[in-house]
Amino acid sequence: MTENEANMISPDLPPDKQHLPTFMAAFHSDSFRNVLRMASQVAKFDSSVLLSGETGVGKEIIARYIHWLSPRSDKSMLTISCGALPETLLESELFGHKAGSFTGAIHDRVGLFEQAARGTVFLDEIGDISKTIQVKLLRVLQEREILRIGENIPRKVDIRTIAATNQDLDKAAAEGKFREDLLYRIRVVEIKVPALRERPEDIPPLTEHFVERLARRLRLPGLSLDRECLARFQKYAWPGNVRELQNAIEHAAIISGDGRIKLKHIPPQIAVEDNMLRRPWTGGLRPLEEMEIDYIRTVLQAVGGSRSRAAEVLGISQTTLWRKLKKTDGRNEAKE
Ligand SMILES: Nc1ncnc2c1ncn2[C@@H]1O[C@H](COP(=O)(O)OP(=O)(O)OP(=O)(O)O)[C@@H](O)[C@H]1O
Ligand SMILES: [Mg+2]
């Protein structure tokens, strides 16, 4: 399969949109390919989409991709972080208000749903909205009309909604925290975005993509990454998903100085060989010896691999350090 074929998601898309935008062209996994396929199918319709998945998996860029492929792409996609605003502010932000309707409402305000006319509204962190806003949102989705705060004449809105969450909304609904009727409305189609650890084959192409992008942004044209780093990346659990990978590479690029990223430049929690996060759950209990060697490696990374400095930090002699490292094979990480 050629690179172009790999990037072609749906042959029935318009010719100018058959290839993925560069911001998300980096993947090899079938699971991510399915996500993109579903996204391109749903993009053609106005149905509400719910993107669910852990933090940093790429929900927002997929929302942008859906909008970009949709017939609404000549209008904007407006985003609101539902969890970031207090209830009254969020309400006025979404629906607008009439001047004088509350203290501080000096002018009429057009809400997001009206501003996004014929475009897309991206409701991020939808699980965080209060019961009051949930009722009002339901009205928008059902009736396609809004009421500005302080007004009683409904206004028609022509929008498409895409919502995102990293919470379990079925559980929230079962607990009475999220309205079930609203859940059905926002989840006409649900796209579950898999965590990075469930698609480790995407780590190399994503890494390459971020290295290329950073090389330009940081003006480090020779930016490169050791194979050893990549091997470690593929073993790590990435609780912060793609965002964490991107940040780890940026951190390493800066620390490296010359742009040649080695194991000692990547954040210590990722660099340690025996990573607790990717182990089967053992109730968090581990043998002391393992914890010790993990910690020794973390210190070694932190001091740039110098054994003498590490011994000093650990409060043991270099001979003891050497013995402890030798016992677990040394891993050739340290230099004298
Ligand atoms: N497939 C991808 N290709 C390129 N960059 C990606 C990809 N997936 C995610 N990213 C990048 O990773 C970062 C996190 O992505 P995004 O903000 O879309 O995640 P999210 O799922 O919305 O996270 P959160 O739940 O924390 O809001 C962004 O900088 C995004 O550009
Ligand atoms: Mg997001």
Alpha carbon distances (Å) from 313 to 271, 288, 306: 19, 19, 11
| pLDDT value of residue 19 | 76
Q: Is the CB of 36 under 6 A from ligand 1?
A: no
Q: Nearest ligand to the C-alpha of residue 210?
A: 1
**Regarding the domain delimited by 275-336, which CATH topology (the fold level of the hierarchy) does it fall under?**
Arc Repressor Mutant, subunit A (1.10.10)
Atom number in ligand 1 closest to CA 63:
18
Of all residues in the chain, the percent with pLDDT exceeding 70 is 90
Q: Which residues contact 72 (CB under 8 A, 6 or more apart)?
A: 118, 119, 120, 160
Q: Which residue's CA lies nearest to atom 2 of ligand 1?
A: 24
- 58 CA distance to ligand 1 middle (Å): 3
Asked whether residue 336 carries a pLDDT value surpassing 50, the answer given is no
pLDDT category, 332, cuts 50, 70, 90?
Answer: very low
From 31, 34, 57, 250, mutation site for ligand 1 pocket: most ligand atoms within 8 A of C-beta? 57
- pLDDT tops 60 at residue 292: yes
* CA 108 to ligand 1 centroid distance, Å: 35
Q: Specify the higher pLDDT residue, 329 or 183.
A: 183
Q: For the chain, where do the domains classified as CATH 1.10.8.60 start and end?
A: 197-271
**Res 2 pLDDT > 50:** no
CATH 1.10.10 intervals, the chain? 275-336
**What is the architecture, at CATH level 2, of domain 197-271?**
Orthogonal Bundle (1.10)
Ligand 1 atom with least separation from CA of 26? 3
Residue-wise pLDDT for 113-151, tens only, equals: 999 999 999 999 999 999 999 999 999 999 999 999 999
Could you read off the pLDDT of 232-288 as tens digits, one per residue?
Answer: 999 999 999 999 999 999 999 999 988 999 999 999 889 887 644 445 555 556 678
Q: How far apart are CA 323 and CA 336, in angstroms?
A: 14
The confidence score (pLDDT) of residue 274 equals: 60
Return the exposure string of 143-168: e unless at least 16 CB atoms fall within 10 Å of the residue's CB, then b: eeebbbbbeeeeeebebbbbbbbbee
Nearest protein Cα to ligand 1, atom 15: 58
Q: With beta carbons less than 8 A apart as the criterion, state whether 230 and 194 touch.
A: no
Write out pLDDT tens, residues 165-190.
Answer: 999 999 999 999 999 999 999 999 99
Domain with CATH 3.40.50.300 in the chain: 3-194
Q: Does domain 3-194 have CATH number 3.40.50.970?
A: no
Q: What does the pLDDT look like over 312-322, one tens digit per residue?
A: 989 998 889 98
Residue of 1, 55, 68, 70 lying closest to 30 (CA atoms): 1
Task: Provide the pLDDT confidence category of residue 328 given band limits of 50, 70 and 90.
Answer: low
Taking residues 89-93, what's their average pLDDT?
92
